[in-house]
Amino acid sequence: MRFAILVTEGPHGHQATDSALAFAGAVLERGHQLPQVFFYGDGVLNANRLSAPPAGERHPVRGWSRLAAEQGVELLICANAALKRGVREATLAPGFRIVGLGQLAGMLVAADRLITFGA
């Protein structure tokens, strides 16, 4: 089955990102497809390469980049939401790509299931 994930909160204010990462891993472990994750609203803050938590603490931005590198999951962030929040091409973590909102529509249409993580 083909899953889509939408993330609407940033990585450090809420648990939503941790839940989304754990769910994404489980989707792939169960043998389902997860071609894309879309980040909208404050969710685009997950793409900030400058995020530097203390050593030993959770590092969600890196978690997403690893998911992209190891599993080929595309990480799409909304251009409008990103510009407002100061997430730029130059500060994008590996695996993330800035796209238009049309890509969100595309992800929804292509997927069998959508799971949203927010607050």
Partner 1 sequence: MSLLHMVAASPFTHRALEACLARWSDGDALLLMEDAVAAALDGAVTPLPGNGPVFVLLPDLVARGLAARPLRHGATPVDYGGFVDLAARYDGSVSWF
Partner 2 sequence: MAVKSLLFLNRAAPYGHGRAAEMLEAALVAAAFGQEVRLAFLDDGVFQLVAGQQAGAVGQKSQAELIALLDEHDIDAVLVEAESLAERGLSPADLMVEAEILPRAALTRALAGADMVISA
Please give the residue ranges that form the binding site for partner 2 (CB under 8 A). 6, 8, 12-15, 18-19, 21-22, 40-42, 57-58, 80-81, 100-102, 104-106, 108-111, 114, 116, 118-119
Residue type, 29: E
> DSSP character for 50?
T
- 11-30 footprint of partner 1 as x/- string (CB under 8 A): ----xx--x--xx-xxx-xx
Number of residues that bind a second copy (CB under 8 A): 26
Contact 10, 17 (CB under 8 A): yes
Supply the minimum distance, in Å, between the C-beta of residue 4 and partner 2.
9
Supply φ then ψ for residue 50, to 5 degrees: -75, -10
**What does the alpha-carbon distance between residue 67 and residue 45 come to, in Å, rounded to a whole number?**
17
Q: In angstroms, how far is CA 16 from the centroid of its own chain? A: 11
Q: Which does 66 bind (CB under 5 to 8 A by kind): a second copy, partner 1, partner 2, none?
A: none
Structure token digits, residue 15: 């648990």
Residue 3: both structure tokens together: 């899953």
- Binding residues for a second copy (CB under 8 A): 9-13, 41-42, 45, 48-54, 57, 61, 80-81, 83-88, 91
Give me the residues that bind partner 1 (CB under 8 A), please.
1, 3, 15-16, 19, 22-23, 25-27, 29-30, 32, 113-119
